């Protein structure tokens, strides 16, 4: 049997793996698998299609249904262009804070979950504890669905509920927005810009779609929200363009323009509704383009879809987390998580984890030691609950 590591030690180890979403996470997965194997815990991998990444899940406790899943993700966002005061992949303590990429989002929770899983295996529980660690959460929660489906088909006992440990300051989050992302390619027709009326600028046509996004945001913000939508911040659906590229020279109408657009939807609306509205606007613009040149077009690929987390009446996950935290407040978030994906596959789900989402993705990201300690107490209370 190996040496058990503390949550702090586990956090330091996990942060040392630079698992930026664009890169492989296999070094971290290798280490987690080996660490669990030291204690006799068998982990199961679920690789991505090209084998460069993998999710992992494991089970501790009796082989019976009705346990608890602790769900986290292994990937982090890039540090490129950010002004860090310390090495982002070395946990550095200063003024009661632990600095490092992923300390808050969400390797702090991953460390706590790993610690709890080993504790459950070594000291025993009467109800199972399971750990699920996905890839590519940061680019649209794309790694979780195949992992969840694999878990359900594996013969491993089906858990009753899941706690997704995104940073919530250890508050009980029972709802979040749904979202969808679309890669858009506007294909124009090149001519000299002095004759631009005979060509189609992909950039200028893309700008019409981006301006549609601005118009939708202004309209949505101006409308009074429903009672359910009003508890979100902001209380309306947002349309966002995060990246754009295109064109070859200042005096050529651009042949190509690529941009990514996403929706974050309040409960009264759905990503599918907004997809349909976006496609309708695309069709109008595409018709205008093809009236100038028939070879122009707009191509769209949906690259993520994250269902919203719906508050559950009498939900087992909410009841347990409120019992363990003592939190009776109403909390929802505008960011997406894997909780909605677990929920749509039959699990009761809630979000609760250490850290403040305001620190996520920021230079000098940190998790306070107080939040890590509060998370450790939560896990201890969870283990006691599973022994009852």
Q: Which residues are catalytic?
A: 75, 137
Q: Which two tokens stand for residue 56?
A: 């992992």
State the Cα–Cα distance between residues 231 and 65, nearest whole angstrom.
35
- In degrees and rounded to multiples of 5, residue 300 shows phi and psi of -130, 135
In whole angstroms, what is the distance from residue 2 CA to residue 34 CA?
A: 10
What is the 3 state secondary structure string of the chain?
Answer: CCCCCCHHHHHHHHHCCCCECCCCCHHHHHHHHHHHHCCCCCEEEEECCCCCCEEEEEEECCCCCCCEEEEEECCECCCCCCCCCCCCCCCEEECCEEECCCHHHHHHHHHHHHHHHHHHHHHCCCCCEEEEEECCCCCCCCCHHHHHHHHHHCCCCCCCEEEECCCCCCCCEEEECEEEEEEEEEECECCEHHHHHHCECHHHHHHHHHHHHHHHHHHHHHCCCCCCHHHCCCCCCEEEEEEEEECCCCCECCCEEEEEEEEEECCCCCHHHHHHHHHHHHHHHHHHHHHHCCCCEEEEEEEEEECCECCCCCCHHHHHHHHHHCCCCCEEECCCCCHHHHHCCCCEEEECCCCCHHHCCCCCCEEEHHHHHHHHHHHHHHHHHHHC
Query: Which of 200, 17, 242, 176 has the alpha carbon at shortest distance from 110?
Result: 17
Q: Exposure string (b/e) for 284-303, b if CB count within 10 Å is 16 or more? A: ebbeebeebeeebebebeee
């Amino acid at each position: 049997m190996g040496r058990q590591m503390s949550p702090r030690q586990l956090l330091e180890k996990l942060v040392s793996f630079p698992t930026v979403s664009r890169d492989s996470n296999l070094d971290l997965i290798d280490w987690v698998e080996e660490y669990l194997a030291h204690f006799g815990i068998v982990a199961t991998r679920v690789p991505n299609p090209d084998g460069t990444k993998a999710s992992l899940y494991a089970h501790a406790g009796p082989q019976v249904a009705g346990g608890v899943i602790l769900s986290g993700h292994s990937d982090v966002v890039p540090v490129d262009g950010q002004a860090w005061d310390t090495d982002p992949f070395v946990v550095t303590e200063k003024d009661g804070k632990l600095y490092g990429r992923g300390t808050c989002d969400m390797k702090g929770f991953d460390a706590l979950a790993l610690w709890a899983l080993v504790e459950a295996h070594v000291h025993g529980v009467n109800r199972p504890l399971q750990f699920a660690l996905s890839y590519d959460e940061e680019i649209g929660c794309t790694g979780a669905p195949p992992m969840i489906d694999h878990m359900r088909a594996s013969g491993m006992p089906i858990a009753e509920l899941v706690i997704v440990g995104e940073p919530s300051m250890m508050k009980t989050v029972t709802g979040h927005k749904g979202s969808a992302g679309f890669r858009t390619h506007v294909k124009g027709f090149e001519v000299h810009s002095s004759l631009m009326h005979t060509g189609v600028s992909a950039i200028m046509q893309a700008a019409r779609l981006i301006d549609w996004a601005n118009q939708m945001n202004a309209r949505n913000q101006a409308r009074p929200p429903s009672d359910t939508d009003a508890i979100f911040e902001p209380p309306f659906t947002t349309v966002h363009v995060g990246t754009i590229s295109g064109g070859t020279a200042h005096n050529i109408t651009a042949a190509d323009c690529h941009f990514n657009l996403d929706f974050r939807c309040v409960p009264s609306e759905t990503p599918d509704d907004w997809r349909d509205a976006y496609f309708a606007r695309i069709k109008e613009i595409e018709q205008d383009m093809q009236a100038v040149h028939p070879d122009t077009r707009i191509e769209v690929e949906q690259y993520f879809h994250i269902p919203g987390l719906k508050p559950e009446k009498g939900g087992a996950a909410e009841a347990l987390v409120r019992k363990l935290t003592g939190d009776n407040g109403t909390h929802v978030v505008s960011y997406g998580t894997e909780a909605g994906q677990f929920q749509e596959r039959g699990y009761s789900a809630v979000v609760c984890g250490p850290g403040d989402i305001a620190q996520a993705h920021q230079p000098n990201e940190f998790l306070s030691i107080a939040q890590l300690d509060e998370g450790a107490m939560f896990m201890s209370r969870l283990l006691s609950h599973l022994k009852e």
